[in-house]
C-alpha cells in the first residue's frame, strides 16, 4: 500500500515549562513527551510517545504554534440511536490501537467507544484527514466568488508561483494531485521532498511552502499522472487564504466549523511562516470529525445556506483519478470507492468514512504501530464492510 504521509517535519518536544496543561499530566506522560527525539519526524517516535503526543500536538510548547477554531454557537445535536452491536469490537479496537470510534447513522450515534485514555472531550490530530477539509474550503471560496473557476491557474492566486512549473497547473489539477510536478513523498527517506521542504529556509517574503514548491521541476504534463503530494495540499491552503484574504483557520471556522455545528474547539498547526499546514494537523474531537461526514451528507447545506456549490460534493467525493487500487480512486482530496462511499484518511489510523446509501458516517482515531503498513489498514476496510453488512441485515 502506498504511503500517505504527514507533510510536516515534526520537531521533537523538549518541554521546558512545568506549568499549566503540562504540569497537569501524570509523571509517565510528561516523561514520554520530554524524551521525544529532537529534530526528528513522527515516524521516529515510539508508540507510547505517539500515544501521548497525538492528543496534544497543539499544546507542546516547541512543536508548533496553532490557530484556534471556535465551536459553533449552535452545535448540531447527535442524539443516541439504536445501539449497533459489532461482533469482535473489543479485539478490533485493540488491534487498531484505536483512541476513538464514533458511528453515526441517520444523524444518530449508534456506537461510540474510546481507548488509550482518550475521551469524547479530547482533541486528536488528523494528519491527512485535514486534506478533505482543505478541499472543502476551495468549494466554499468558489461559492463566495473568491475563486472564479477550478480551471484557473494556481499562479493567478499565488503570485509566488509565477515562472515555476506551476504556471500551467490548474486548481483542479492540484485538487486531484495531478499537477505533473516532480515530488518524492517517501517520508522515511531523509532526501525526499516531504522530509526536506519543511526544514528548508524560506525565501524572504514568501510562504515556506511556496518558497520550496516553486523550485520543483516538471515530471509529467499537467493532468496526466496521479501522484500523491502533501506539499500541494499545503499550496491549496495558501491559495484559499490568498483568494479569501483570511487565515485558513478563520475561513474553516466561518464556512465549516460553525455551519456544520461543531461542538468543540479545534486547532490547526502552523508552518514556520505562520500559515496553517493545510495537508495535515487539524486537532478536533472525534464527534466533530463525524459531524464533518454529516456536513458532506447534507451536501454542504446549513439550514437555508448553501456553503459550497450544489454540485461540489458530487465532484469532490467521486473518482476523478485512478489511484492504482481496484475499486478505488481519488477525488478532490478524498479517497473514493466505486460503490459510492468516500473517505478522508490520515496516517496512523485517522479517518472519516462516509456512505451516502446508508446515511452512515464512521469517524476513527488511532495510533497504528506503523504509519500505513501492517495489518491495520486492511482490517479497517474490513470493519467498514462489516458495519455496512450489519446495517443491511437490519441491525
Q: Tell me: the pLDDT tens digits for 272-299? A: 899 999 999 999 999 999 999 999 999 9
Looking up cell 521546558, which residue turns up?
16
Confidence of residue 185 (pLDDT cuts 50, 70, 90): confident
Helix H or strand E segment including 329: strand 328-330
- Does the pLDDT at position 8 exceed 70? no
Helix H or strand E segment including 296: helix 286-297
Which pTM does this prediction carry?
0.92
Looking up cell 515510539, which residue turns up?
46
pLDDT value at residue 12? 36
Residue 10 located in a structural domain: no
Confidence of residue 253 (pLDDT cuts 50, 70, 90): very high
Q: Tell me: the pLDDT tens digits for 114-166? A: 999 999 999 999 999 999 999 999 999 999 999 999 999 999 999 999 999 99
Residue 2 located in a structural domain: no
Q: Name the packing angle between helices 376-392 and 89-96 (round to 10°).
A: 150
The domain of 42 spans: 20-392
DSSP state of 370: S
In the chain, how many domains are there? 1
Q: Tell me: the pLDDT tens digits for 313-360? A: 999 999 999 999 999 999 999 999 999 999 999 999 999 999 999 999
Separation CA 151–CA 102 (nearest Å):
37
Residue 328 located in a structural domain: yes
Q: Tell me: the pLDDT tens digits for 376-392? A: 999 999 999 999 999 99
Question: Of 64-68, 102-106, 184-188, 368-372, where does mean pLDDT reach its minimum?
Answer: 184-188
**Strand order across the 266-269 sheet:** 66-69, 266-269, 282-284, 124-125
Residue 7 located in a structural domain: no
Separation CA 37–CA 83 (nearest Å):
43
Confidence of residue 197 (pLDDT cuts 50, 70, 90): confident
Residue 131 located in a structural domain: yes
- What CATH number did the domain enclosing 194 receive? 3.40.710.10
pLDDT value at residue 380? 98
Q: Which of 194, 286, 272 is nearest to 233 (CA)?
A: 194
Amino acid at each position: 500500500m502506498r504511503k500517505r504521509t504527514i507533510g510536516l517535519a515534526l520537531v521533537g518536544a523538549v518541554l521546558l515549562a512545568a506549568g499549566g496543561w503540562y504540569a497537569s499530566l501524570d509523571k509517565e506522560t510528561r516523561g514520554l513527551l520530554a524524551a521525544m527525539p529532537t529534530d526528528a519526524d513522527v515516524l521516529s517516535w515510539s508508540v507510547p510517545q505517539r500515544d501521548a503526543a497525538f492528543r496534544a500536538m497543539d499544546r507542546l510548547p516547541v512543536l508548533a504554534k496553532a490557530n484556534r477554531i471556535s465551536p459553533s454557537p449552535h452545535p448540531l445535536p447527535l442524539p443516541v440511536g439504536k445501539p449497533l452491536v459489532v461482533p469482535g469490537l473489543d479485539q478490533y479496537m485493540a488491534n487498531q490501537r484505536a483512541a476513538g470510534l464514533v458511528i453515526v447513522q441517520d444523524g444518530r450515534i449508534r456506537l461510540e467507544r474510546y481507548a488509550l485514555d482518550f475521551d469524547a472531550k479530547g482533541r486528536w490530530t488528523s494528519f491527512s484527514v485535514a486534506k478533505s477539509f482543505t478541499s472543502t474550503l476551495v468549494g466554499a471560496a468558489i461559492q463566495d466568488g473568491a475563486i472564479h473557476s477550478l480551471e484557473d491557474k494556481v499562479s493567478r492566486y499565488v503570485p509566488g508561483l509565477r515562472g515555476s512549473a506551476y504556471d500551467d497547473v490548474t486548481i483542479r489539477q492540484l485538487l486531484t494531485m495531478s499537477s505533473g510536478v516532480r515530488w518524492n513523498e517517501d517520508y522515511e527517506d531523509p532526501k525526499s521532498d516531504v522530509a526536506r521542504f519543511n526544514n528548508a529556509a524560506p525565501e524572504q517574503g514568501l510562504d515556506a511552502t511556496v518558497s520550496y514548491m516553486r523550485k520543483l521541476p516538471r515530471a509529467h504534463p499537467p493532468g496526466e499522472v496521479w501522484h500523491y503530494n502533501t506539499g500541494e495540499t499545503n499550496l491549496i491552503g495558501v491559495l484559499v487564504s490568498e483568494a479569501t484574504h483570511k487565515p485558513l483557520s478563520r475561513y474553516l471556522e466561518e464556512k465549516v466549523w460553525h455551519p456544520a455545528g461543531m461542538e468543540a474547539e479545534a486547532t490547526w498547526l502552523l508552518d514556520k511562516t505562520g500559515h496553517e499546514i493545510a495537508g495535515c494537523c487539524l486537532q478536533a474531537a472525534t464527534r466533530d470529525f463525524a459531524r464533518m461526514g454529516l456536513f458532506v451528507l447534507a451536501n454542504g447545506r446549513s439550514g437555508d445556506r448553501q456553503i459550497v456549490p450544489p454540485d461540489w460534493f458530487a465532484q469532490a467525493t467521486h473518482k476523478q483519478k485512478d489511484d492504482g487500487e481496484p475499486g478505488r480512486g481519488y477525488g478532490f482530496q478524498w479517497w473514493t470507492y466505486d460503490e459510492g462511499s468516500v473517505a478522508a484518511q490520515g496516517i496512523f489510523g485517522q479517518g472519516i468514512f462516509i456512505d451516502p446509501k446508508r446515511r452512515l458516517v464512521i469517524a476513527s482515531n488511532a495510533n497504528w504501530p506503523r504509519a500505513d503498513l501492517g495489518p491495520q489498514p486492511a482490517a479497517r476496510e474490513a470493519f467498514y464492510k462489516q458495519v455496512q453488512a450489519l446495517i443491511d441485515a437490519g441491525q
